[in-house]
Amino acid sequence: MTDPRPRVHLTARALTAGSLSAAGLLGLAFLLGLAGAVDLGRLVGNIGVMVLLATPVAGLLTTWWELRVLRPTHAWLATAVLLVLGLATIVALAARA
Amino acid sequence: MIPLELLALLAALGAGVFGAIAGVGGGIIVVPLLSVALGVPLHHAIAVSLLGVIAISATASANYLEAGFVSRRIGLTLLVATTLGGIVGGFIAGLVDARLLAALFGIVLIAVALRMLFGREPVEPTTVEDLGPLEFDATYVEPRTGEEVAYRVRNFGIGSAVSVFAGMLSGLLGVGGGIVNVPTMNSLMGVPIRVATATSTYMLGATAAASAVLYFSRGEVEPALAGAVVVGSVVGARIGARFHHVLPQRALTLIFVGVAAFFAVQMLLRALGGGA
């Protein structure tokens, strides 16, 4: 038999909130650019991109939170993925600097 | 609206629909359309495409998580393997003939697509009561029938090894891992196609984000284009996720096979020196 299912709502909400916020900010940035507020549009657009980049990280953090009791091994896998991805990003950024 | 952004939005909309259904993101549609058809510099096209993949992954996988289609246990384990493979791929990129690799990958992908199309059913029928204590065996509720479907995961070690290879391909050829992860989970590991595509969608966001950071740090993200692609991707992924719920498993397989065939042609064209 399978174990009880861990909750998923927090991760689903984090992913939805992240993608919708980023889309909203990037859409607003586009409209600001059309209205002639280019610098403000670029700033809002960059914030939107950063929100989008942070969304999978938030998804992995909430996954860890939701799995930590019922599936502790897999909860730590979420942390491992975050660490490996973070390390790979730092190494790649340093190599290009 | 400026035509380029409108076209990018429409391309991202289509990529979102098919990417969410097939579990492959959407880069294979957005990158060639922006770079080859619309003349956007390749690095800028890849940068906004990666943002689109994150948007598709976040939007669709939120829906799939709520529906119970995502196996986070399988996804996280394979994600570690894929990420490690990606790092290895980055290191050996200069030692491998990318065109030869693209040709081989294109041929292998055609073989895999044919097997998915004509091979025997990869998912072993079982019941909830028969599921063993293995960590990866699980169930989901099939939305078309309302029945709880149990599945047994097999070949997990081989599947993980293939995921390392998928990550290496991602590093070497700049392709998303979904095109490898879906057939690995479905054909090799016996995961139902609905769960395989949903789990792959869940996995894609994290790896795309790691790559997108690099493009963003180099100033290669064009905000207006990114806005069009992300908005299109979010809307497309919401539509795609709805289709994912109502389409029969066979239709999901056929759509994935179609996307894989399109991708294989791109790889073969790249090997011949003509692809994006």
By Cβ distance, the residue of B65, B83, B128 closest to A85 is B83
Residues of B whose CB is below 8 A from A89: 210, 213-214
**Residue percentage of chain A with pLDDT more than 90:** 51
pLDDT > 70 in chain B, percent: 91
Amino acid at A30: F
- The minimum CA-CA distance between B261 and chain A, rounded to whole Å, is 29
CB contact under 8 A, B128 and A53: no
The band of A65, judged by pLDDT with boundaries at 50, 70 and 90, is very high
User: Quick check: B133 pLDDT over 60?
Assistant: no
Which DSSP category does B94 fall into? G
Q: Give residue B226's pLDDT band: very low, low, confident or very high (50, 70, 90).
A: very high
A-B interface: how many C-beta pairs under 8 angstroms? 159
Residues of A in contact with B63 (CB under 8 A): 12
The pLDDT mean for chain A works out to: 88
Q: What is the pLDDT of residues B236-246, one digit of tens each?
A: 999 999 999 99
Q: Residue B187: left if φ>0, alpha if ψ -120 to 50, beta else—which one? A: alpha
pLDDT of B137 higher than 90: no
Tokens 């180099």: give the residue: B218
Put simply, whether A13 touches B (Cβ < 8 Å) is yes
Q: Confidence class of residue A62 from pLDDT cuts 50, 70 and 90?
A: very high
| Percentage with pLDDT > 90 across chain B | 32
According to DSSP, the β-strands at B148-151 and B138-141 are antiparallel
pLDDT at B275 over 60: no
The whole-number pLDDT of residue A1 equals 46
Cα(B146)–Cα(B244) distance, rounded to whole angstroms? 15
Better-scored residue on pLDDT, B22 or A97: B22
**pLDDT tens digits, B77-116:** 898 888 888 777 777 767 777 788 788 888 888 888 888 8
Place of tokens 């980023």: A22
Query: pTM higher than 0.80, yes or no?
Result: yes
B223/A16 touch (CB, cutoff 8 Å), yes or no: no
**Tokens for A23?**
């889309």
Q: How far is B273 from B276, CA to CA, in rounded Å?
A: 9
Give A23→chain B minimum CA distance, Å. 5
Tell me if A48 and B226 make a contact (CB, 8 A cut-off): yes
CA separation for the pair B82, B78 (Å, rounded): 6
- Closest-approach residue (CA) in chain A for B129: A1
Which residue of A1, A11, A19 is the best one to mutate when testing the B interface, meaning the one whose CB has the most B CBs within 10 A?
A19
* Lowest-confidence pick of B58-72, B157-171, B180-194: B157-171
Shortest Cα distance from A9 to chain B (angstroms)?
7
Query: Do the Cβ atoms of B206 and A85 come within 8 Å?
Result: yes
Instruction: Centre a 10 Å sphere on the Cβ of residue B4 and count the other Cβ atoms it contains.
Output: 16
pLDDT of the residue at B124: 66
Measured between alpha carbons, how far is B76 from B70 in angstroms, rounded to an integer? 11
Q: Do A60 and B77 touch (CB under 8 A)?
A: no
From the list A13, A84, A92, the residue facing B84 with the nearest CB is A84
